[in-house]
Chain A
Amino acid sequence: MSTLHTVNKSPFGDGALSSCIAHCKAGDGVLLIEDGVYGALAGSAISEAVVACSADVAFYRLEGDVAARGLPGAKLIRQVKPVGYDGFVDLVTEYDRTQSWL
C-alpha cells in the first residue's frame, strides 16, 4: 500500500514540501504541481532533501506547470520525472491513495 502525495506550493515560502518529505514512506510517490514545481529546481535550498528522499520515493513534476513557469530544463533535478495530466491520472490509479499537501 502506497500513497501519491501532491504538493502545489513553492518550497521557498511554505513548508508543505518539507512536511511531505518528512512524512512520506519508501515506495510512495510525490508529484509537484502548480507552484509546487519550483521544488524541482536543482541547486536550491531544498534540492538536497528532494534528491535524498528520491532514493526510495519517486518524484514527478507536472510538465504543463513547469513550462508555464519557464523553468529551464537543464536546471531541474534529474530524479524528478516529467508527467502530463494523463500521467497524473495514471499515478493516481497506480498508488493506493492520494494525499494533497494543501
Chain B
Amino acid sequence: MKLGIVVSEGPYTHQAADTAYHFAKAALDKGHEVPRVFFYHDGVNVATRLSVPPQDERHIQKNWTALAAANDIDMVVCIAAAQRRGILDENEAKRQGKDASNLAEGFRISGLGQLIEMGIECDRMVMFGD
C-alpha cells in the first residue's frame, strides 16, 4: 500500500517526528511504499540542517535524511509554514534577501498542494502531531 505521512510538530519537544520515523521504517520494512512525508506546522523544524543534538542522542533530521535517501521518499516542507519559522532553501534565502539557508539534504520546500496530492494519491494517510 501507499502510505502518506504528515509530521506536524517540531523535533525534540514532541515525540511526533520520532513516532512518524519508526512508523515509516516499519512500513517500508513490511514492503509498503512511503512515497512522501509532509512536514507542517512546527514539523518544518525537523528540516533544519543546523541542529546539533548531544552525541548520545538521536539526530532526528539525519535519521530522516538517511531513511529518505535509502527509500526514495519525497520529503516536503510546507513553504508557508517554513518561511514563518525560518526554514529556507538556497533559492528562498536569495529571494528573501537572507544571508543563509538551512534546509537539510533530502528535504524540499513546496506548497500545501503537495499535502492534498498525497491525500489523493496514497491509500492511507497518517498524521503525527500533538
Contacts and interface: CB of A to CB of B under 8 A. Distances in A.
Q: Do chains A and B touch in the complex (CB under 8 A)?
A: yes
Nearest to A34: B15
Given A34-B15, A92-B3, A86 B126 contact: no
Contact of A102 (B29, B123, B130): B130
A70 to B, nearest CB: 16
A8 interface: yes
Contacts of B22: 64, 85
A98 B125 contact: yes
How big is chain A's contact interface, by range?
A: 20 to 34
A89 B130 CA distance: 20
Contacts of A88: 23, 26
A89 B26 contact: yes
B65 to A, nearest CB: 20
B19 A100 contact: no
Interface in B21-78: 22-23, 25-27, 29-30, 32
Contacts of A62: 19
A84 B29 CA distance: 13
Contacts of B16: 8, 34
B129 A93 contact: no
B127 interface: yes
Interface string A61-102: 010100000000000000000001110111011000110101
Interface of B: 1, 3, 8, 15-16, 19, 22-23, 25-27, 29-30, 32, 123-130
Interface of A: 6, 8-9, 33-35, 62, 64, 84-86, 88-90, 92-93, 97-98, 100, 102
Given A90-B30, A98-B127, A102-B129, 12 more contacts: A6-B126, A8-B130, A9-B130, A62-B19, A85-B26, A88-B26, A89-B3, A89-B27, A92-B3, A92-B126, A93-B123, A98-B124
